[in-house]
Amino acid sequence: MHKVAIVGRPNVGKSSLFNRLIGRREAVVADFPGVTRDVKEGVMLYENHRIVLMDTGGLWSGDEWEAPIREKAEMAMEDALAVIFVCDPREGLSAADYEVADWLRRLNLPVVLVANKIDSLKHDVYLAELWGLGFGEPLPVSAEHARGLDDLMDRVVSHLPEDDEDVSEIAPIRISLIGRPNVGKSSLLNAITGSERVIVADQPGTTRDSVDVDFDYAGQRFVLVDTAGIRKRPDSAIEEYAMMRSEAAIKRSDIIWLVVNAGELGDHELKLANLAYDSGKPVIVVVNKWDLVPDEEIKRTTRDLDIKLNHIHFAPRAYTSAINDYGIHDMLAEAMKLYAKWQSRIATADLNRMLEIWQVKQRVPNFNGKPLKMYFMTQVETAPPNFVIFCNRADFVTRAYENFLLNRIREDLDLPGIPVKLTWREKGPYKGKKSKTKEEEVQK
């Protein structure tokens, strides 16, 4: 796959064009500048090319984010084979446009100059000024109305070699880092990848959109997703939308890293964990900034974590420090282990053998001399595992007995920390009369 970067000054429609080209709303779009700060990637197919588009932050913004945004854009350019330079001619060229043009000339990459927000032919009169940037004929496009996109991509692929790269058959494990603002999610992602892929700052709310980063570890492909910090109550419309994008990232993920600060735990972390488990995804609690805990306070801090995280005691933990890379390998190893169990399938013969043992260990419920009869157990789905037990009367299943079975599933079938669904189906003369379905999450 070949990488193509989209650059330009703030608020010229780079993210809108990015979303339109990849065919989905991946990047946050707003009417004010400075929304995009990190480099966001998305894959698109055009003719015989698989292209990785990179949406960069607004260059020469004139604010405190100007230097880190340009640094991330320059890192993106190291892998790019072509650049889409986006301008808004209806507003006229600014000093920032000329600064971006000079910067691109020094990079010596093929540049496709794009005049965005040209919604109709009558707006083509705005194109004349763009010739002065020195990149040849500007292409009129409209990201909002999908005008001129084929001409744009024809120009882009003319600068790309034929795409004969074999796509890896190893499916990546998609992991999302979630947590409240400023707990160190971006620092952890940079520590894992060994590069400054995302912007890190002391102030909360630095990350304003989900950022996907490809990463290989021990022969396994990962897609690490740095999400915006999720607040209890968003302070603005852009934070509210960013929170929605974080929740969407959870649904698309295979594993969730819930990043917490040992000294700042509360109900918010529990709600985030429940949000992840409700989606059927395994959760690993990542206790970050562990290096800041003094040695004499470790035992007490661990006890506090046990108490405050008792609601999610089933989730495995990794104690980490993004500063000195402590615990980084534990995060990845635990994720690989949970992913394998989440995808696992247990043979029907083994399930029914265990079902017989469980019935011997614990007497089945009995109502007025009529016992619950369990005939058969099988697994019908993976990721998360879904088990079905066929019985004579689903309404005979008590909460206590169901909890007993759930505990046996997690312990005897070696599925600690994995959300598991348990469904009851009636078989026999009572089938369809009082059937019920129960879905429970099983955790460690």
Q: What is the DSSP string of 130-184?
A: GGGGSSSSPEE-BTTTTBSHHHHHHHHHTTS----PPPP-SPPEEEEEE-STTSS
> What pLDDT is stored for residue 423 in this prediction?
94
Q: Are domains 173-342 and 348-426 of this chain identical in fold?
A: no
Q: Residue 50: is its pLDDT beyond 80? A: yes
> What pLDDT is stored for residue 237 in this prediction?
55
Residue 327, annotated as binding a ligand: no
Residue 324, annotated as binding a ligand: no
Tell me the average pLDDT across 266-279.
76
Residue 261, annotated as binding a ligand: no
> What pLDDT is stored for residue 201 in this prediction?
47
**pLDDT tens-digit readout, 182-203:** 788 888 988 998 877 665 444 4
Which of 65-74, 207-216, 353-362 is least confident? Answer: 207-216
Residue 385, annotated as binding a ligand: no
Tell me the average pLDDT across 74-101.
92
Among residues of the chain, what percentage have pLDDT more than 70?
85
Q: Residue 28: is its pLDDT beyond 80? A: no
Residue 56 structure tokens: 């960069």
Indicate the average pLDDT of the chain: 83
> What pLDDT is stored for residue 443 in this prediction?
46
Query: Which CATH code is given to the segment(s) 2-157?
Result: 3.40.50.300
> What pLDDT is stored for residue 194 in this prediction?
83
Q: pLDDT confidence of 389, banded at 50, 70, 90?
A: very high
Residue 434, annotated as binding a ligand: no
Q: Residue 226: is its pLDDT beyond 80? A: yes
Hey, what amino acid is at 202? D
Residue 11, annotated as binding a ligand: yes
Burial class (CB in 10 A: 0-12, 13-18, 19+), 433: exposed
Residue 436, annotated as binding a ligand: no
Residue 230, annotated as binding a ligand: yes
Given a contact cutoff of 8 angstroms between Cβ atoms, the answer to whether 7 and 107 are in contact is: no
Q: Residue 67: is its pLDDT beyond 90? A: no
Residue 289, annotated as binding a ligand: yes
> What pLDDT is stored for residue 198 in this prediction?
62
Residue with more model confidence, 292 or 277: 292
Residue 58, annotated as binding a ligand: yes
> What pLDDT is stored for residue 274 in this prediction?
77
> What pLDDT is stored for residue 124 in this prediction?
78
> What pLDDT is stored for residue 183 in this prediction?
85
Residue with more model confidence, 24 or 187: 187
Residue 179, annotated as binding a ligand: yes
The pTM of the full predicted model, rounded to 2 decimals, is: 0.70
Q: Residue 318: is its pLDDT beyond 50? A: yes
Q: Residue 444: is its pLDDT beyond 60? A: no
Q: pLDDT confidence of 94, banded at 50, 70, 90?
A: very high
Element (H, E) at 377: strand 374-381
Residue 16, annotated as binding a ligand: no
Q: Residue 247: is its pLDDT beyond 90? A: no
Q: Residue 173: is its pLDDT beyond 70? A: yes
> What pLDDT is stored for residue 164 in this prediction?
61
Among residues of the chain, what percentage have pLDDT more than 90?
43
Residue 279, annotated as binding a ligand: no
Residue 190, annotated as binding a ligand: no
Residue with more model confidence, 437 or 431: 431
Residue 55, annotated as binding a ligand: yes
Q: pLDDT confidence of 26, banded at 50, 70, 90?
A: low
**pLDDT tens-digit readout, 112-129:** 999 999 987 777 788 999
Mapping DSSP onto H, E and C, the string for 44-62 reads EEECCEEEEEEECCCCCCC
Q: CB-based contacts of 151: which residues, under 8 Å, 6+ apart?
A: 139, 141
Residue 284, annotated as binding a ligand: no
Hey, what amino acid is at 151? D
Q: Residue 109: is its pLDDT beyond 80? A: yes
Q: Residue 138: is its pLDDT beyond 90? A: yes
Residue 38, annotated as binding a ligand: no
In CATH, 348-426 is 3.30.300.20: yes
Tell me the average pLDDT across 163-171.
59
Which of 58-67, 72-81, 141-150, 276-285 is least confident? Answer: 58-67
Distance (Å, whole) CA 14 – CA 237: 20
Residue 184, annotated as binding a ligand: yes
Q: Residue 216: is its pLDDT beyond 80? A: yes
Q: Is 221 helix (H, G, I), strand (E, B) or coil?
A: strand
Residue 15, annotated as binding a ligand: yes
Q: Residue 438: is its pLDDT beyond 60? A: no
Tell me the average pLDDT across 174-183.
87
Residue 287, annotated as binding a ligand: no
Residue 226, annotated as binding a ligand: yes
Domain range list for the chain? 2-157, 173-342, 348-426
Q: Residue 92: is its pLDDT beyond 50? A: yes
Distance (Å, whole) CA 79 – CA 66: 21
Residue 323, annotated as binding a ligand: no
> What pLDDT is stored for residue 130 in this prediction?
93
In CATH, 173-342 is 3.40.50.300: yes
Which of 91-95, 383-387, 432-436 is least confident? Answer: 432-436
Tell me the average pLDDT across 375-387.
94
Residue 368, annotated as binding a ligand: no
Given a contact cutoff of 8 angstroms between Cβ atoms, the answer to whether 138 and 131 are in contact is: yes
Distance (Å, whole) CA 376 – CA 389: 6
Q: Residue 80: is its pLDDT beyond 90? A: yes
Residue 432, annotated as binding a ligand: no
As a whole number of Å, the CA-based R_g of the chain is 27
Residue 410: how many CB atoms within 10 A of its CB?
18
> What pLDDT is stored for residue 299 in this prediction?
92
Ordered strands of the 173-178 beta sheet: 211-217, 220-226, 173-178, 255-261, 283-288, 317-319
Which of 80-94, 98-112, 254-268, 363-377 is least confident? Answer: 254-268
